[in-house]
């Protein structure tokens, strides 16, 4: 991480603000957090309460799937971040080498 920061600082010093990283568009995640269902008021009729109960049961089931997916998604994110940092470091090192020629 320290070498990454050093390379980033070096490139920033050479290129100025143009070297600052920009935010990438977030990719959609295969882990989709379920939407929270509405909880009816206590004065709802029996049909509405039954429907809400089914929706909440489905929400809990979907949330369990989502929670099981998160560790894999976190690992994928770590690998992706490591890969992009490694690629960036290679490009910065090549750039700096060319500047010294």
* Cα angle 91-72-3, degrees, rounded to a multiple of 5: 30
Q: In this predicted model, what pLDDT tens digit does every residue of 25-49 receive, in sequence order?
A: 345 567 899 999 999 999 999 999 9
| Alpha-carbon Rg for the chain in angstroms | 24
Number of domains composing the chain = 1
Mean pLDDT, the chain, as a whole number? 82
Residues of the domain holding 49:
2-99
pLDDT given at position 101: 87
| Residue 62 pLDDT exceeds 60 | yes
């Amino acid at each position: 991480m320290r070498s990454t920061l050093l390379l980033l600082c070096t490139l920033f010093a050479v290129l100025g603000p143009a070297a600052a990283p920009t935010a990438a568009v977030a990719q959609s995640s295969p882990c989709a957090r379920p939407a929270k269902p509405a909880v009816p008021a206590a004065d709802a009729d029996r049909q509405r309460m039954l429907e809400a109960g089914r929706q909440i049961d489905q929400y809990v089931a979907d949330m369990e799937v989502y929670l099981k997916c998160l560790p894999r998604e976190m690992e994928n994110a770590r690998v992706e971040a490591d890969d992009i940092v490694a690629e960036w470091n290679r490009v910065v090192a090549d750039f700096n080498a060319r500047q010294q020629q």
